[in-house]
Chain A
Amino acid sequence: MRLHRIRIIIIALLLLALALIPFWASRYVENVCLLVCVYVTMASVWNLLAGYSGMVSLGQQMFVGVGGYTLAVLSMYYGLPIFLSILVGGFISLLLAVLISFPIFRMKGVYFAIGTWVIAEALGICFSNWGYVKYGMGIFIQPTQKMSMSTIYYASAVICVGSLFLVYLLLRSNLGLALMAIRDDDVASEMMGVNIFRCKLVCFLLSAFITGVSAGVLYLNTVFIQPFEAFGIGWTVNLLFIVIIGGIGTLEGPIVGAVTFVILQQFLSEYVGYNLIILGAITIAVIFFYPRGIFGTLQHKYGMALFPIRRD
């Protein structure tokens, strides 16, 4: 019971810190925090797929691209309100996920991973050959109402906290139990009456929606969208790095990983040319020495958990 109280206090302090950032931080720090929030959001839903449901998707960038482009097209061409456009971006990502779920869910393991990647690549080619979105040149996103950095930051923070809470609830529900059963032994769980297709579909759709929405917020800050960058594998690569470094299959892992990743990225950006080499070397080193990732190792050794999923 005491542990429970400590947890609540820690979470409350973290939330307070998140809320207070715009009051003291410089524009640069605010930008870094925004990146952390967006990456925590995307990484935690990727973790839901890869770490809990056994679906290693290499195609999350398709939702990033669709979310970003929806924002660009709706707000620039039609002058729709920004946050409405972002929300619509999420729903279009969701629609895309529904459409591709039929072919993609027939594939398993590596086939699933490559299948999702190929679909994302195909979408990238479509967008770069599409005159409506100015081919490969890309679109500038200049909202009609000027937005302050703090507004964008708060949007990302709200989405981040909201999606973490959603993932937490989902994992504690019956669906979460079913998911872990599927991950550990899909045949046995199906025999026990788990509807595998439905469980996986829920996770996939949720991840599509949340990734699409948070990509919209990110592009609000980036101001420029271009097909090969938006639909590039680089996005999923970052998510993979974050989740592995933080600890796959733990809820807190993506948070620790995203903070580490963004700080490393900022720190290494001074060493142009070497930064990705160092990032690659760190990834290999972590797998060798801490195969469970940072938080996974802590949890394994000390039984730490900020958001306990097991019901005790």
Chain B
Amino acid sequence: MIGYLEAVITGILLGGLYGIVGIGLSMVFGIMRQVNLAHGELMILSSYFSLLFVHLMGLHPLLTLFLVLPIMFAIGYLIQAFLFNRVMQETMEPFLIISFGLSIILQNALLLICTPDARSLKTGLVIMSLDVLGLFRIPLIQVINFAVGLLVLLLLHQFMKKTYLGWAIHAASEDLSGAKLMGINPKRVYCFAMGIAALTAGISGVLVGMTFTFYPHSGTQYLIIAFGVVILGGLGSLPGTFLGGMILGISQLVGGRVIGPGFQLLSGYLILIIILTIRPQGLLGRR
């Protein structure tokens, strides 16, 4: 029984990490109605950036966020300005293909520069753990992931509610021509939105790097997790993303406990398919 409780609690914590993995993807869909297949690669790219700064300056991985995040924002802004803005049409295929081409390029460039070896952002945090009522211990890093995930969600929510840029982003996604008439330049707004999405990818990349090992091709694996999370919650819904993360996290860990550790991912996918069969638009998604 305690084993299951442990699985559920670790699952919730893992869900916090998954939520932030998916949040950028969800934002881009909510705002532009497009799917960014390079999201996973942007994540892994920032893991490598963080690794670079750790090696160069001997910083703690969490401190490298201050360097990684501006870089990721700039990358997101630039790829939207030079690549994606050229294919913002009604249909989804051109955007899909462009982001897909970008993901292949990033993945193989990383493979070329950083070799296929497994890397991780080593810290003392990995071996520390918290005692839960004397029943079992949970790794401290998971608690940090969850806390950061929740913080990012709240900040993003406040940003969209309170700032002028947030309103502009909202307006451009709600009614494009209306927003244009009010003097909003949608292409610039999209650039900022993609920058913010890349920034969240940056945060999740550093957290994932601190929690697990990563390779140049890890992006695909996280892309599918991001998709799972986002689709469970409903595309474009920020709270839904967090909920989706927790459902995926819990179903992976509890499923792994029931069937066996080799089936962790599988049980997550099964729950995903079952939920989508019952609610094809996701849990909190609108039709």
Interface centre among A128, A237, A277 (most CB of B within 10 A): A277
Contacts of A56 in B (CB 8 A): 92-93, 96
Alpha-carbon gap, A122 to B266, bound state (A): 5
CB contact between B104 and one of A119, A276, A287 (< 8 Å): that residue: A276
Alpha-carbon gap, A107 to B272, bound state (A): 12
Can you list, as one digit per residue, whether each of A279-305 has a CB less than 8 Å from chain B (1) or not (0)? Answer: 111011001100100000000000000
Alpha-carbon gap, A50 to B92, bound state (A): 12
Asked if B86 is at the interface of the complex by the 8 Å CB criterion, the answer is yes
**Known contacts A122-B273, A277-B104, A279-B104; A284 and B35 CB within 8 A of each other:** no
Alpha-carbon gap, A109 to B83, bound state (A): 23
Q: Are A110 and B235 in contact (CB under 8 A)?
A: yes
Can you list, as one digit per residue, whether each of A120-163 has a CB less than 8 Å from chain B (1) or not (0)? Answer: 01100110110000000000000000000000000000000000
Asked if A10 is at the interface of the complex by the 8 Å CB criterion, the answer is no
Q: Are A107 and B266 in contact (CB under 8 A)?
A: no
Q: Are A129 and B105 in contact (CB under 8 A)?
A: no
Q: Are B97 and A280 in contact (CB under 8 A)?
A: no
Minimal beta-carbon separation of B127 from chain A (angstroms): 29
**Known contacts A103-B277, A125-B263; A233 and B231 CB within 8 A of each other:** no
**Known contacts A237-B100, A288-B86; A273 and B108 CB within 8 A of each other:** yes
Asked if B120 is at the interface of the complex by the 8 Å CB criterion, the answer is no
Contacts of B178 in A (CB 8 A): none
Q: Are A284 and B231 in contact (CB under 8 A)?
A: no
Asked if A166 is at the interface of the complex by the 8 Å CB criterion, the answer is no
CB nearest to A106 among chain B residues: B280
CB contact list, B31-87 vs A, under 8 A: 35, 83, 86-87
CB contact between A114 and one of B112, B227, B263 (< 8 Å): that residue: B227
CB contact list, B245-287 vs A, under 8 A: 260, 262-263, 265-266, 269-270, 272-274, 276-277, 280-282
Q: Are B263 and A118 in contact (CB under 8 A)?
A: no
Alpha-carbon gap, A88 to B174, bound state (A): 51
Asked if A72 is at the interface of the complex by the 8 Å CB criterion, the answer is no
Size bracket of the A interface: 35 or more
Q: Are A284 and B101 in contact (CB under 8 A)?
A: yes
Alpha-carbon gap, A103 to B231, bound state (A): 15
**Known contacts A110-B35, A284-B83; A118 and B272 CB within 8 A of each other:** yes
**Known contacts A276-B104, A283-B101, A284-B101; A118 and B273 CB within 8 A of each other:** yes
CB nearest to A284 among chain B residues: B101
Asked if B9 is at the interface of the complex by the 8 Å CB criterion, the answer is no
CB contact between A276 and one of B93, B108, B270, B281 (< 8 Å): that residue: B108
Asked if A108 is at the interface of the complex by the 8 Å CB criterion, the answer is yes
Q: Are A106 and B277 in contact (CB under 8 A)?
A: yes
Asked if B220 is at the interface of the complex by the 8 Å CB criterion, the answer is yes
CB nearest to A108 among chain B residues: B280
Contacts of A276 in B (CB 8 A): 104-105, 107-108
Q: Are B273 and A115 in contact (CB under 8 A)?
A: yes
Q: Are B104 and A118 in contact (CB under 8 A)?
A: no
Asked if A23 is at the interface of the complex by the 8 Å CB criterion, the answer is no
Alpha-carbon gap, A245 to B263, bound state (A): 38
Minimal beta-carbon separation of A159 from chain B (angstroms): 27
**Known contacts A125-B266, A129-B263, A277-B109; A117 and B101 CB within 8 A of each other:** no
Q: Are B227 and A277 in contact (CB under 8 A)?
A: no
Contacts of A121 in B (CB 8 A): 224, 265, 269
CB contact between A110 and one of B86, B92, B102, B224 (< 8 Å): that residue: B92
Asked if B98 is at the interface of the complex by the 8 Å CB criterion, the answer is yes
Interface centre among A50, A107, A281 (most CB of B within 10 A): A107
Minimal beta-carbon separation of B245 from chain A (angstroms): 16
Alpha-carbon gap, A117 to B265, bound state (A): 14
Contacts of B109 in A (CB 8 A): 277
Q: Are A287 and B108 in contact (CB under 8 A)?
A: no
Minimal beta-carbon separation of B157 from chain A (angstroms): 23
Alpha-carbon gap, A106 to B278, bound state (A): 9
Q: Are B276 and A126 in contact (CB under 8 A)?
A: no
Minimal beta-carbon separation of A1 from chain B (angstroms): 36
Q: Are B273 and A287 in contact (CB under 8 A)?
A: no
**Known contacts A111-B231, A118-B228; A233 and B105 CB within 8 A of each other:** no
Q: Are B270 and A287 in contact (CB under 8 A)?
A: no
21 contacts between A and B (CB under 8 A): A103-B276, A109-B92, A110-B92, A111-B280, A111-B281, A111-B282, A115-B276, A121-B224, A121-B265, A121-B269, A122-B273, A125-B265, A125-B269, A237-B104, A279-B104, A280-B102, A281-B101, A283-B100, A284-B98, A284-B102, A287-B94
A contact set with B: CB distance below 8 Å: 50, 56, 102-103, 106-111, 114-115, 117-119, 121-122, 125-126, 128-129, 233, 237, 240, 244, 248, 273-274, 276-277, 279-281, 283-284, 287-288, 291
With A277-B112, A287-B87, A287-B98 given, name 11 new contacts (CB 8 A). Answer: A56-B92, A102-B277, A103-B273, A110-B29, A111-B235, A111-B282, A121-B224, A233-B220, A273-B108, A276-B104, A280-B105
